[in-house]
Amino acid sequence: MVYIGGRCARACKEFDLYRTNGDGKDPANFVESAWMDEKNVGSQGLCYPRRDFFQDLQKMEAMFLEFHAGYSSPYYPHVGVVNGFEDSIQTEFPGYSKVLLARLARTRTMIFVNCLQRSVTDKQFESFRSLRKTHEHKY
C-alpha cells in the first residue's frame, strides 16, 4: 500500500502528498518502508506518501474491497466499474483532486485484474505438445 500511495500521490503534485529521497522534506511526516528504502537509488525514485494520506488510503482500500464484494463473479464484465468506484471515493473524500482519485481507482483495479489473470494462467492446462517440447529440451 505504501508503494501505491506514493505512485498515486505523484500524479497530483499541488497537494504535496509525497516525498522522494533528495527533496529535503522532513521524513517524520511520511510513511516509512524498508522495502522502498532498499529499492530507492539516487535522488529520484519511489515516493513515500504522507501519513495522513496513507490513513485515507487505507480507508479507500476498505471501500474498494466492500465495493467489489457486491459482484457475484470476480470476472465481472460490467461496464463502468472503475468509474463507479471513482465516484464513490470522490463523494467520501472531497478534499482530494479528481486526478488523484481517478489514478487511485485505476491503479487499484488494475492490480486486482492482474492478480486475477495470474491466478487463471497458473491453473491453465498445459498441452501435450508443450509437455513434450519441455521434455525434449531437457536433453
Backbone angles phi, psi at 43, to 5 degrees: -80, -35
- Distance, CA of 58 to CA of 85 (rounded, Å): 15
State the pairing for strand pair 18-19/48-49.
antiparallel
Backbone angles phi, psi at 48, to 5 degrees: -100, 125
What integer pLDDT is reported at residue 70 of this predicted model? 66
- Distance, CA of 61 to CA of 84 (rounded, Å): 15
- Distance, CA of 25 to CA of 20 (rounded, Å): 8
State the 10-residue block means of pLDDT for the chain, 139 residues long. Answer: 75 72 75 76 73 87 82 63 85 86 85 76 74 80
- Residue located via cell numbers 495522513: 52
What integer pLDDT is reported at residue 44 of this predicted model? 65
Domain ranges in the chain? 2-122
Cα–Cα nearest to 15, from 88, 103, 100: 100
Give the single-character DSSP code of 95: T
What integer pLDDT is reported at residue 43 of this predicted model? 57
